[in-house]
């Protein structure tokens, strides 16, 4: 299967920082790698309707944005979650897409979870605040998402910016974007995830967030937790 990247744009505005950073990284993909870009703002999903456990009809969607996104997801070898940090985590468009995966797992005969196993999940994010822990819940969500689905976790590329275009001034992020997709995807602790479902995952890829000169990820994590305790999020560093 040749590589096919699906970029899921989760920002609630067009041409935002996160998309700009993702496009910078995607520019480095070889010409024979197919790319599909879908904006969730242009193709919004409704709030998740929990039809599991006999509560409704979980049949495969044949039209509309659910069908578009399901088909595109199944056709991709690599799925890139391009979500800004909203309140330390995923944007609500992105969260609805993620909840959609739960719906798709319950479609009889589709085998969605088995089909996604072995593919690669990546993340690209931007935030206004520049403290690395600000994106930790988002990174954990993408990491655990991959582990639960037995997918490879490619890592999360992170940039800093508030107004559209700001991220183009983040020269460290632009430098990290160039080799980002060339790095080998990591294998998640799939057996652990399969046994327990999504949950706290050790060995978070903090080195994917940090500049190369920063300390070892475990050391950095300790420092970050200390910063999180000592420093209350400032209003300016939120939006
Ligand atoms: C609803 C909302 C919540 C946000 N929450 C945070 C946050 O928790 N931490 C932070 O650093 N920035 C936060 N931001 C700022 C965005 O992450 C930042 O503006 C980012 O560049 C937006 O990405 P975009 O240009 O791709 O839309 C928030 C922005 C919005 C609109």
**Cβ 52 under 6 angstroms from ligand 1:** no
Query: Distance (Å, rounded) from C-alpha 204 to C-alpha 220?
Result: 11
Q: Give the pLDDT confidence score for residue 10 in this predicted structure.
A: 98
- The rounded Å distance from CA 84 to ligand 1 centre is 6
- The rounded Å distance from CA 72 to ligand 1 centre is 26
Query: Distance (Å, rounded) from C-alpha 43 to C-alpha 50?
Result: 20
- The rounded Å distance from CA 169 to ligand 1 centre is 16
User: Quick one: tokens of 239?
Assistant: 């939006």
**Residue identifier of the C-alpha nearest atom 23 of ligand 1:** 84
Q: Give the pLDDT confidence score for residue 189 in this predicted structure.
A: 44
User: Quick one: tokens of 75?
Assistant: 């056709």
Q: Give the pLDDT confidence score for residue 174 in this predicted structure.
A: 98
Query: Distance (Å, rounded) from C-alpha 124 to C-alpha 42?
Result: 19
Q: Which fold has domain 4-237?
A: Rossmann fold (3.40.50)
**Closest-lying ligand 1 atom to the alpha carbon of residue 11:** 27
Cut 0.85: pTM above it: no
Per-position DSSP letters for 79-94, written without gaps between them:
EEEE---BTTB--HHH
- The rounded Å distance from CA 155 to ligand 1 centre is 20
**Closest-lying ligand 1 atom to the alpha carbon of residue 88:** 8
Q: Which residues of the chain have pLDDT under 50?
A: 188-239
65-90 tens-digit pLDDT: 999 999 999 999 999 999 999 999 99
Q: Which of 167, 119, 129, 162 is nearest to 19 (CA)?
A: 167
């Amino acid at each position: 299967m040749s590589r096919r990247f699906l970029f899921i744009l989760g920002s609630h505005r067009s041409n935002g920082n996160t998309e700009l950073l993702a496009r910078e990284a995607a520019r480095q993909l070889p010409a024979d790698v197919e790319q599909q870009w879908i904006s969730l703002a242009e193709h919004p999903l409704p709030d998740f309707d929990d039809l599991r456990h006999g509560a409704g009809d979980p049949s495969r969607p044949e039209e509309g944005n659910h069908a578009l996104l399901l088909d595109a997801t199944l056709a991709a070898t690599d799925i890139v979650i391009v979500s800004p940090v909203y309140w330390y985590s995923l944007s609500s468009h992105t969260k609805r897409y993620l909840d959609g995966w739960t719906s798709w797992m319950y479609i009889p005969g589709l085998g969605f979870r088995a089909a996604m196993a072995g593919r690669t999940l990546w993340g690209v994010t931007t935030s206004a605040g520049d403290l690395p822990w600000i994106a930790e819940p988002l990174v954990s969500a993408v990491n655990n998402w991959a582990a639960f689905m037995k997918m490879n976790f490619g890592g999360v590329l992170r940039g800093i910016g508030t107004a559209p275009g700001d991220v183009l001034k983040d020269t460290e992020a632009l430098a990290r974007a160039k080799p980002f997709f060339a790095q080998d995807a990591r294998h998640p602790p799939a057996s652990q995830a399969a046994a327990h479902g999504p949950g706290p995952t050790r060995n978070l890829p903090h080195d994917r967030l940090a500049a190369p000169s920063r300390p070892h990820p475990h050391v950095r994590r300790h420092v970050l937790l200390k910063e999180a305790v000592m420093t209350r999020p400032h209003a300016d560093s939120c939006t």
